[in-house]
């Protein structure tokens, strides 16, 4: 980081003042003492910091995508769906309703994206499938679709079951992030069938309606 330093240099010019037709005055101009100039160096904390560029999606291999409370791969909550969709070459994209879309590829789970009322801002992201989807995204702790409840509990010690506020044949477990968002695991028969990034700690009953 280059720090630019600047200083002001004041030059004092003294001289005798001559009066027309008279002898030179014995009084010289009083020198002016320059005042110290404060340094222009900015505190390091005010220096702009470049934000890291998001990693591009690799549509050919969802197993490289990391799932967390902020999103799955580059499909992040708060991002523009239009910008994400432009990276999905080779995938089958379907509009389910104005508030939800989905996409998938061979040997990959289906990714469901819930949208805000503007139809573009991503509100929540879910990967749905099972162990047969070998190109499943996984969490930093290594939990992918098809993982067992025992594996989830070993990866996230102390994780608690969340209450699903509607009748369902699934169980949900969630991990809270510092900003209040959640990494959610939905299980059926003790196996992870959905991984979600959401503002809520349980899977949605539906994304449309």
pLDDT in tens, 27-38: 444 455 555 444
3-state helix, strand, coil in the chain (%, to 5): 10, 30, 60
* Residues in CB range of 9: below 8 A, 6 or more apart: none
* Residues in CB range of 144: below 8 A, 6 or more apart: 63, 136, 137, 138, 192, 195
Residue with tokens 């197993």: 63
Q: Is residue 135 part of a domain?
A: yes
Query: Higher confidence at residue 194 or residue 131?
Result: 194
Task: Provide the domain limits for residue 119.
Answer: 62-198
* 86-98 residues labelled b (16+ CB within 10 A) or e (exposed): eebeebeeeeeee
CA separation for the pair 120, 96 (Å, rounded) = 13
Q: Is residue 17 part of a domain?
A: no
CA separation for the pair 178, 168 (Å, rounded) = 28
Q: How many residues does the chain have?
A: 209
Residue with tokens 């989830």: 152
Dump pLDDT digits (tens) for 85-111: 998 888 899 999 999 999 998 878 999
Q: Is residue 123 part of a domain?
A: yes
CA separation for the pair 40, 68 (Å, rounded) = 43
Q: Is residue 76 part of a domain?
A: yes
Q: Is residue 21 part of a domain?
A: no
* Mean pLDDT, residues 149-157 taken together: 97
Q: Is residue 31 part of a domain?
A: no
* Mean pLDDT, residues 152-176 taken together: 92
Report pTM.
Answer: 0.72
Q: How many domains does the chain have?
A: 1
CA separation for the pair 86, 120 (Å, rounded) = 13
Query: What is the pLDDT, as a whole number, of residue 59?
Result: 65
Q: Is residue 56 part of a domain?
A: no
Structure tokens, 62: 């969802």
CA separation for the pair 17, 12 (Å, rounded) = 15
State whether residue 63 is helix, strand or coil: helix
Q: Is residue 86 part of a domain?
A: yes
């Amino acid at each position: 980081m280059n720090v630019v330093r600047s200083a002001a240099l004041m030059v004092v010019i003294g001289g005798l003042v001559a009066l027309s037709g008279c002898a030179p005055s014995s009084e010289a101009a009083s020198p002016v003492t320059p005042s110290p100039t404060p340094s222009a160096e900015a505190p390091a904390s005010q220096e702009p910091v470049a934000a890291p560029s998001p990693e591009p999606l690799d549509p050919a291999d969802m197993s490289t995508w990391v799932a967390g409370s902020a999103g799955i791969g580059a499909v992040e909550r708060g991002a523009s769906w239009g910008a994400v969709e432009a990276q999905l070459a080779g995938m089958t994209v379907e509009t389910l309703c104005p508030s939800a879309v989905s996409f998938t590829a061979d040997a990959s789970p289906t990714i469901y994206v819930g949208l805000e009322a503007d139809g573009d801002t991503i509100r929540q992201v879910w990967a749905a499938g099972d162990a047969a989807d070998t190109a499943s995204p996984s969490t930093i702790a290594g939990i992918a679709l098809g993982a067992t409840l025992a594996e989830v509990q070993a990866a996230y010690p102390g994780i608690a079951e969340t209450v699903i506020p509607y009748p369902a044949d699934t169980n949900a477990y969630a991990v809270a992030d510092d900003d209040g968002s959640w990494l959610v695991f939905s299980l059926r028969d003790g196996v992870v069938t959905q991984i979600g990034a959401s503002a809520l700690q349980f899977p949605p009953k539906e994304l449309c309606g």
